[in-house]
């Protein structure tokens, strides 16, 4: 039995909103019924692009044909829009970060439960190809048991000159990016206890929101994870770097340059010291003796449009949600501790 096509209205015709609309063009389970934006200029832009435009948010809520409201507005407005939508019998897809506090998110979930509606957060970067390559190797142990993951996303253009520079709007890089990086790592380790974190936020660009951060997570199974973002980095660190007991994996960037290398033989055999800089070293001597093997990055098959399809299937009772609200809640709580750790320069233990 096939699903009924669901009607969706986008709230917030900005960068992320228009991107959703592009993607939804090829999601046959969803029909984009219209658009609303609080700004008249944006509404006019949407009209010119051929969308049906609602003149008020209330009109969206009153439209009985609307099944799903997709919220892609600045972070501080998600909560109120979501609650209104849910109360008016709409399912809701919400941009990340879902809200700016745990209690706000709890309120939203209470309303969703009361009105028996589906509410899902767009953690779209779970569908990044490079993350899925890391996930595959992490789970199939192709480099042994993994004990270290580094995930750094760096730009060199500062923070965009919009609400992202404003604290009260939920700006800053922790809300913008850590929410992605943390969500994925916690998802990858759903069953593993997070033991501690240490975070350090950067304010080097002089805004009152963080322009970058670094977080060290220690998990109960011995895994150490470093997550970092920078916005004035003119040379980038590798985006992904993962070390296991028998190999190392690196993915440089979104363009999927990278490889993984495995040890074929014994770790400490036949080491010959080398001259290196002003010293010599046995420990840091290279392996050029055929005792390692280089592999291409694994193939993965991911399609971010599965996010929308999964949402529709959840509404229709055919699938569990991929992005569970309990997972988003866990991430939100850890985000709070990240701010606390950095503010107090202390390790947070869970």
Task: Show contacts with its own copies in window 4-33 (CB under 8 A).
Answer: 15-16, 19
Taking the complex as a whole, how short is the minimal distance between the CB of residue 268 and its own copies, in angstroms?
A: 4
Segment 144 to 203, residues that bind its own copies, using CB under 8 A: 147-148, 150, 153-161, 164, 173, 176-177, 180, 195-196, 198, 200, 202
Which residue stretch of 46-54, 55-63, 65-73, 249-257 sits at the interface with its own copies (rule: CB under 8 A)?
Answer: 249-257
Which residue, 66 or 197, is less far from its own copies as judged by CB? 197
* Sole residue written with tokens 């660009």: 205
State which of residues 67, 183, 210, 250 lies at the interface with its own copies (CB under 8 A).
Answer: 250
77 binds its own copies (CB under 8 A): no
Cα–Cα distances in angstroms (integers) from residue 24 to residues 60, 176, 230, in the given order: 19, 23, 31
Residue 144 DSSP one-character state: B
CB of residue 58 to its own copies, shortest distance in Å = 30
Options 41-49, 97-105, 327-335, 340-348: segment touching its own copies (CB under 8 A): 340-348
267 binds its own copies (CB under 8 A): yes
Q: Helix, strand or coil for residue 290?
A: coil
* Options 208, 221, 281, 336; binder of its own copies; rule CB under 8 A: 281
Question: From the CB of 193, what's the least distance to its own copies, in Å?
Answer: 14
Question: Does residue 218 touch its own copies according to CB under 8 A?
Answer: yes
Binding to its own copies (CB under 8 A) within 104-133 occurs at 124-131
Question: How near is the Cβ of 251 to its own copies at its closest, in Å?
Answer: 10
Instruction: Give, as one character, the DSSP assignment of residue 171.
Output: -
Contact call for residue 276 and its own copies (CB under 8 A): yes
With both helix axes pointing from N to C terminus, report the angle between 102-114 and 78-87 in degrees, rounded to the nearest 10: 10
Q: Cα angle vertex 344, ends 340, 346, to 5°? A: 90
Range 291-330, binding its own copies (CB under 8 A):
292, 302, 304
Q: How far is the CB of 128 from its own copies (least distance, A)?
A: 4
CB neighbours of 338 closer than 8 A, spacing ≥ 6? Answer: 174, 178, 182, 197, 199, 201, 213, 215
Tokens found for residue 295:
């592999």
CB 104, min distance to its own copies, A: 23
Cβ 136 to its own copies shortest distance, Å: 15
**DSSP codes of every residue in 38-68:** SSHHHHHHHHHTT--B-SSHHHHHH-TT--E
Whether the Cβ atoms of residue 207 and residue 165 lie closer than 8 Å to each other: yes
Give yes or no for residue 337 binding its own copies (CB under 8 A): no
Point out which residues pair with 240 in neighbouring strands. 151, 251
Q: How many residues bind its own copies (CB under 8 A)?
A: 85
**Which residue lies nearer to its own copies by CB, 38 or 263?**
263
Q: Is 279 in the site for its own copies (CB under 8 A)?
A: yes
Beta strands of the chain (E only): which ranges? 6-11, 30-36, 68-71, 91-94, 119-121, 146-154, 194-202, 212-219, 224-230, 240-244, 247-251, 258-263, 274-276, 279-281, 292-295, 348-349
Minimum distance of its own copies from residue 196's CB (angstroms)? 6
CA nearest 175: which of 287, 74, 55?
A: 74
Token pair for 179: 């929410």
Q: CB nearer to its own copies: give 116 or 283.
A: 283
């Amino acid at each position: 039995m096939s699903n009924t096509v669901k009607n969706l209205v986008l709230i917030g015709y900005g960068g992320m909103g228009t991107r959703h609309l592009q993607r939804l063009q090829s999601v046959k389970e969803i029909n984009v019924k219209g658009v609303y934006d609080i700004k008249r200029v944006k509404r006019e832009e949407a009209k010119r692009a051929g969308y049906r435009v609602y003149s008020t948010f209330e009109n969206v809520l009153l439209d009985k044909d609307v099944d799903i409201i997709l919220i892609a507005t600045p972070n501080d407005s998600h909560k109120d829009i979501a609650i209104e939508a849910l109360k008016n019998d709409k399912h809701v897809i919400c941009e990340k970060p879902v809200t700016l506090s745990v209690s706000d998110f709890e309120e939203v979930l209470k309303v969703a439960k009361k009105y028996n509606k589906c509410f899902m957060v767009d953690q779209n970067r779970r569908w990044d190809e490079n993350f899925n390559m890391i996930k595959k190797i992490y789970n199939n142990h192709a480099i042994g048991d993994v004990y270290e993951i580094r995930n750094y996303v760096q730009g060199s253009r500062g923070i965009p000159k919009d609400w992202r520079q404003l604290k009260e709007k939920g700006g800053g890089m922790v809300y913008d990016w850590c929410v992605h990086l943390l969500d994925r790592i916690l998802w990858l380790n759903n069953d593993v206890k997070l033991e501690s974190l240490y975070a350090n936020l950067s304010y080097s660009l002089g805004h009152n929101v963080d322009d970058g951060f670094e977080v060290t997570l220690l998990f109960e199974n011995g895994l150490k994870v470093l997550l970092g973002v920078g916005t004035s980095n003119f040379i980038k660190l590798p985006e992904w770097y993962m070390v296991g007991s028998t190999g190392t994996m690196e993915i440089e960037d979104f363009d999927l340059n990278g490889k993984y290398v495995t040890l074929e033989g014994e770790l400490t055999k036949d080491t010959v010291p080398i001259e290196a800089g002003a010293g010599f070293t046995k420990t840091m001597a290279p392996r050029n003796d055929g005792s390692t093997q280089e592999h291409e990055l694994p193939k993965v098959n991911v399609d971010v449009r599965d996010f929308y399809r999964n949402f529709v299937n959840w509404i229709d009772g055919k699938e569990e949600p991929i992005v569970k609200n309990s997972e988003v809640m866990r991430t939100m709580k850890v985000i709070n501790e990240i701010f606390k750790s950095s503010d107090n320069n202390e390790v947070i233990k869970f």
